């Protein structure tokens, strides 16, 4: 099963406490970039 979610201008998708349980037993990709160019990719 594939799924996607877009969360505009919010950092919950890069919070490791949230994404670690969500990725258990599967793959999870998370990308965040703000207006100042700060970028996170997990």
Residue 27 lies in a domain: yes
pLDDT of residue 1: 62
Domain count, the chain: 1
Q: Is residue 2 one of the residues assigned to a domain?
A: no
| Domain that residue 37 falls in | 12-41
How confident is the model over 2-41, as pLDDT tens digits? Answer: 777 777 767 777 788 888 888 889 888 888 888 888 888 8
In a domain, 5, yes or no: no
In a domain, 21, yes or no: yes
DSSP, collapsed to helix, strand or coil, labels residue 40 as strand
Which residues are bridge partners to 31 per DSSP? 41
In a domain, 31, yes or no: yes
- 4 in any annotated domain: no
CA neighbor of 2 nearest in space, from 30, 31, 26: 26
Inside any domain, residue 32: yes
Q: What is the pLDDT of residue 33?
A: 83
Give a yes or no: residue 6 inside a domain: no
Please state the separation of Cα 24 from the chain's center in Å: 14
Instruction: Return the percentage of the chain with pLDDT > 90, whole number.
Output: 0
């Amino acid at each position: 099963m594939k799924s996607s979610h877009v969360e505009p201008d919010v950092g919950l998708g890069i919070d490791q406490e949230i994404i670690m349980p969500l990725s258990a037993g599967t793959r999870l990709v998370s990308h965040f970039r703000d207006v100042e160019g700060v970028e996170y990719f997990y």
